[in-house]
Amino acid sequence: MDYNTKQTADQTINDILANKKEPLLSVFFTAGFPKLNDTSLILENLEKSGVDWVEIGIPFSDPIADGPTIQHSSSIALENGMNLKLLFDQLKSNAHQRKIPVILMGYFNTVFQYGMEQFCKDCEDCGVSGAILPDLTPELFHKRYAALFEKHQLIMPLIITPETTAERIHFIDRIATGFIYLVSASGTTGKTLGFEDSSFQLVINQYKKSLKNPIMVGFGISNHQDYQKATQHSRGAIVGSAFIRHISQFGIGLASIQTFVKNIKNPFS
């Protein structure tokens, strides 16, 4: 690629995290689902619907951390022919028009096979802001890849859970960039969020003042009530399975996606 599109977005994720006052919303969908070439249109319609940034899932044959909804979308995407090279081609095609930040989320094996240096270069060239690789250990990222991500101006949010020890939370906070992804409960994505026990809120209240990175909450957020509770003390929420279920039923058109985002953020406006 003979040009760099890194700064085509109006704001970086770090800008949004630092400067936007209201709770944030990030939406996840799987590249190549429902159809192979839907990525650009979904991105465009999410941008028009007012989400703060988008996480695009790299489909993988054995997505062990994902629940049945995302597993199914990943399987369909692979059957459709989606792969990482094609995803970069799709992101390159609309990079100059795209104003919303994008993070790629997937499994380390896919990126390792592609080549980590090539992956980081292609992310930068296509205007991607960073990556989340849940099965890449913080230690390995810090030792081998942190400098590479910094070279290509990419953030690497890292994941904690309510069961993560205090010592490890502070270690992860030292090496993560962008934000910390707080998984609201143990298990896979797409489950009902256990707000009643509020274990994830205890983590936020205990650590947020001592962490350098803001906290985004994910897993199991499917409606406005969930969103309100998840963002009461965090910077924002990440919605995935609920969005995939929605577009499976109602399609990827602008009206459908605007309705979904409004119903999450503020259905009474």
Alpha helices in the chain (DSSP H): 13-19, 39-49, 68-80, 84-93, 108-114, 116-125, 138-140, 146-151, 166-175, 199-207, 224-230, 241-250, 254-265
Helix (H, G, I), strand (E, B) or coil at 56: strand
10: closest CA among 85, 101, 73, 82? 101
Catalytic site includes residue 163: no
- 222, 241 contact by CB (below 8 A): yes
| 15 catalytic per annotation | no
Amino acid letter for position 173: D
Catalytic member of 66, 122, 124, 226: 66
- Set 55, 124, 173, 226: catalytic member: 55
C-alpha span between 82 and 60 (Å, rounded): 10
Closest by Cα among 259, 236, 237 to 247:
259
**Residues identified as active-site:** 55, 66
